[in-house]
């Protein structure tokens, strides 16, 4: 089933995210994680694409396992380290496995390489066009409520996003954010810029204080004072941080749904037990929105 259909038919959806292994010998372990997350019956499960294409071969394998478990899969696909021919081959491989949904991404620019090389992709809108021309895929893309770190300002980022959507995007998924007001503000601005496709709000249950500070530094994601205090107090204590992170994420989702943002993507980072706790905490809320 396409994600476009799922979003149209269900005012409230919850999806989860997995990442594939870096080594083939771990594949069976990761497929078991995929089955455990699928057992929670999320609306769909996305499978990331290794930075620089490193684990790309395994994205399709894990996504297939998700589909076999009865849950629609969304396969991420980055183009920064790909040729046009490579993208055509990756799309043909996804199609052969019956995967209908692709999240079309550029990927981060490699640090020690000239970019873009002649004939290669510079931005995700070019990939969106190629996936659309290939045909038969529901296409998602990324967006950044706080602006992408490469953009000079949010206005410029939104203009680029509009171009990307116009290239043929069916839905957007946001970068994680910890302050819902930032998302609400982004949604108003996206509407004003003429962006009409559904936006799925990406939230992350934080379980590691050090890691989240590093991720926020790199991605430009703000830690609001209320959440920064939680990370300061519990960040060094794994079990306490996990409990606080799940509670904070649960509250964030309740506030989103209460304010009409019905499509939520949880960055579950291959932790089925955390996904289970959050989805369990919200079972009645998700049911009410169906």
Q: Which residues are catalytic?
A: 17
Q: Which of the ranges 1-9, 36-44, 143-151, 224-232 carries the binding residues for ligand FAD, by CB under 6 A?
A: 143-151
Q: Is 56 in the site for ligand FAD (CB under 6 A)?
A: no
Is residue 20 within 8 Å of 60, Cβ to Cβ?
no
Strands (DSSP E) found in the chain: 13-18, 45-47, 73-78, 101-105, 138-143, 171-174, 199-203, 263-266
Least separation in angstroms between residue 223's CB and ligand FAD is: 17
Footprint on residues 101-120 left by ligand FAD (CB under 6 A):
105-108
H/E segment holding residue 129: helix 124-134
Taking residue 152's Cβ as centre, other Cβ atoms within 10 Å add up to: 8
Q: Is 157 in the site for ligand FAD (CB under 6 A)?
A: yes
Least separation in angstroms between residue 229's CB and ligand FAD is: 26
Between helices 209-219 and 225-234, what is the axis angle to 10°?
140
Per-residue binder mask for ligand FAD (CB under 6 A), 164-183, x = binder: x--------x-x--------
- Residue linked to tokens 């497929």: 31
Longest dimension (CA), the chain: 53
Per-residue binder mask for ligand FAD (CB under 6 A), 34-53, x = binder: --------------xx-x--
CA distance 63 to 74: 7
Q: Is 268 in the site for ligand FAD (CB under 6 A)?
A: no
Q: Is 87 in the site for ligand FAD (CB under 6 A)?
A: no
Least separation in angstroms between residue 48's CB and ligand FAD is: 3
Taking residue 156's Cβ as centre, other Cβ atoms within 10 Å add up to: 13
Contact residues toward ligand FAD (CB under 6 A) are 48-49, 51, 76, 78, 105-108, 123-125, 142, 148, 150-151, 157, 160, 163-164, 173, 175, 202
């Amino acid at each position: 089933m396409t994600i476009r259909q799922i979003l149209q038919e269900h005012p409230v959806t919850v999806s989860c995210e997995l990442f594939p292994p870096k080594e083939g010998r771990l594949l069976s372990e990761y497929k078991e994680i995929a089955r455990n997350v699928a057992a929670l019956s999320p609306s769909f499960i996305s499978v990331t694409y290794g930075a620089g294409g490193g684990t790309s071969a395994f994205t399709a394998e894990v996504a297939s396992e998700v589909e076999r478990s009865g849950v629609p899969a969304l396969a991420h696909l980055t183009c920064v380290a790909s040729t046009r021919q490579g993208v055509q081959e990756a799309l043909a491989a996804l199609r052969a496995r019956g995967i209908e949904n692709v999240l079309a991404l550029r990927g981060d620019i490699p640090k020690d390489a000239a970019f873009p090389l002649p004939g290669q992709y510079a931005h995700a809108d070019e990939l969106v066009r190629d996936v659309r021309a290939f045909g038969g895929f529901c296409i998602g893309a990324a967006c950044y409520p706080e602006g992408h770190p490469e953009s000079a300002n949010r206005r410029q980022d939104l203009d680029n996003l509009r171009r990307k959507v116009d290239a043929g995007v069916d839905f957007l998924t946001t970068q994680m954010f910890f302050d819902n007001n930032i998302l609400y503000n982004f949604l108003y601005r996206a509407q004003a810029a003429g962006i009409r496709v559904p936006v799925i709000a990406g939230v992350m249950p934080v379980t590691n204080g050090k890691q989240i500070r590093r991720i926020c530094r790199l991605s430009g994601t703000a830690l609001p004072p209320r959440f920064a205090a939680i990370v300061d107090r519990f960040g060094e204590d794994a079990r306490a941080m996990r409990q606080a992170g799940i509670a904070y994420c649960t509250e964030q989702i309740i506030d989103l749904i209460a304010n009409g943002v019905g499509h939520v993507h949880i960055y579950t980072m291959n932790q089925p037990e955390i996904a289970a706790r959050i989805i369990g905490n919200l079972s009645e809320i998700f049911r009410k929105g169906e």
